[in-house]
DNA sequence: GCCAATATATCGTCGTGCTATACATAGGCC
DNA sequence: GGCCTATGTATAGCACGACGATATATTGGC
């Protein structure tokens, strides 16, 4: 009966401004290629954040232009893939954005708290 | 020495998707007019969220079009101002968006946690 | 009279998320 | 062989909201 799921997809505007953060954070460990990043973000978000190809690749190209990530083609895993890894600037940006996001979240919580808006639990 | 302030303004993209939530939440109490909303959001965010007039008024008009808020001109306070208050639909939307935001924040925290990204403290 | 703060409004631009589309490879199945 | 699905990368064009610039009117202080 398709119980009204608590886990609907998040609206596009919510994602805005944090997609960079998400991608940078999944790249914090080993190098990864686009398709893998897509699957990891989906998994890590419990299926609630979907990065369509038309969002993901332009985003990766932009991050590369900004020298936050570095790409290299490599078939070491048996298939030619474009691998991305964080640059030093990328790590710095990741830390900065994580901090900014934490501050922002705190900010919103205060606003909601002041309005005595408690999401139903 | 101007120590790198913790309280820089938040980037425009971060705001996106939560501006509605903010405005709805400051309207959760008494009715307010635009200029007042602007000042309250600024104050409640410790000066980190600024709602420029070019953002605020179109936003209010949009929320009004969606019947989430209701406007009425009134000079009861000595000056003609346009007062906004939440409609029933607005309250419902506020609760829903607050919930969605909380879920989303949880989502991001998990992603950052998995990447072992701890904002500097 | 002048200026700053208050108060509302709109236009045009810009950034960016996403749908649609394209194309290529790999593996399973009939 | 032929077909389908999953994998993998890429781009064009649209949708939409945030914001700077700009306009206009009122109020109060000097």
* Mean pLDDT of all residues belonging to chain A: 90
Judged by CB atoms closer than 8 Å, whether chains meet at B17 and A22 is answered as no
Query: Does pLDDT of A81 surpass 80?
Result: yes
CA gap B79, B61 in Å, rounded: 21
What is the per-residue pLDDT for A17?
Answer: 87
What is the per-residue pLDDT for B119?
Answer: 54
Max Cα–Cα distance, chain B, nearest Å: 55
Q: Is the CB of B59 under 7 A from strand D?
A: yes
> CA at B74, C1' at D28: how many angstroms apart?
21
What is the per-residue pLDDT for A6?
Answer: 61
Question: Residue with structure tokens 């990204």?
Answer: B117
Nucleotides on strand D lying under 7 Å from protein C-beta: 7-13, 17-23, 26-28
- For residue A64, the tally of other CB atoms under 10 A from its CB is 16
What is the per-residue pLDDT for A2?
Answer: 39
Query: For B16-49, what is each residue's pLDDT tens digit?
Result: 989 999 999 999 999 999 999 999 999 999 999 9
Judged by CB atoms closer than 8 Å, whether chains meet at A98 and B119 is answered as yes
Q: Where are the alpha helices (DSSP H) in A2-82?
A: 12-15, 19-26, 34-44, 53-65
Q: What stretch of H or E contains A85? A: strand A81-86
CA gap A46, A40 in Å, rounded: 10
SS in 3 state form for B42-77?
HHHCCCCCCCCHHHHHHHHHHHHHCCCEEEEEECCC
- Of B59, B87, B86, B85, the closest CA to residue B72 belongs to B85
Kindly list the residues from chain A whose CB atom is less than 8 angstroms away from the CB atom of residue B46. 107
What is the per-residue pLDDT for B82?
Answer: 97
SS3 A81: strand
Sheet hosting strand A81-86, strand order edge to edge: A32-33, A81-86, A69-74
CB-to-strand C under 7 Å, chain A 12-51: 12, 15-17, 19, 51
- Chain-centre distance for alpha carbon B100: 14
pLDDT class for A114, splitting at 50, 70, 90? confident
State pTM to two decimals: 0.88
- The fraction of chain B above a pLDDT of 70, given in percent, is 90
CA gap B60, B80 in Å, rounded: 17
Structure tokens at B15: 């705001």
Query: For B53-74, what is each residue's pLDDT tens digit?
Result: 999 999 999 999 999 999 999 9
> CA at A16, C1' at C15: how many angstroms apart?
10
Q: A20 CB contacts (<8 Å, ≥6 apart)?
A: A59, A63, A93, A97
Q: Is the dihedral of CA B43, B45, B46, B49 positive or negative?
A: negative
Question: What's phi and psi for B86, nearest 5 deg?
Answer: -70, 145
């Amino acid at each position: 009966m398709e119980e009204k799921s608590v886990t609907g997809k998040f609206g596009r505007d919510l994602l805005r401004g944090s997609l960079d953060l998400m991608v940078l954070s999944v790249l914090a460990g080993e190098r990864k290629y686009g398709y893998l990043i897509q699957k990891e973000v989906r998994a890590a978000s419990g299926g609630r954040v979907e990065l369509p190809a038309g969002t993901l690749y332009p985003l990766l190209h932009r991050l590369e232009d900004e020298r936050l990530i570095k790409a290299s083609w490599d078939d070491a895993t048996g298939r030619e893939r474009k691998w991305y890894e964080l640059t030093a600037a990328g790590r710095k940006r990741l830390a900065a954005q994580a901090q900014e996001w934490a501050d922002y979240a705190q900010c919103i919580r205060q606003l909601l708290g002041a309005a005595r808006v408690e999401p139903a639990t």
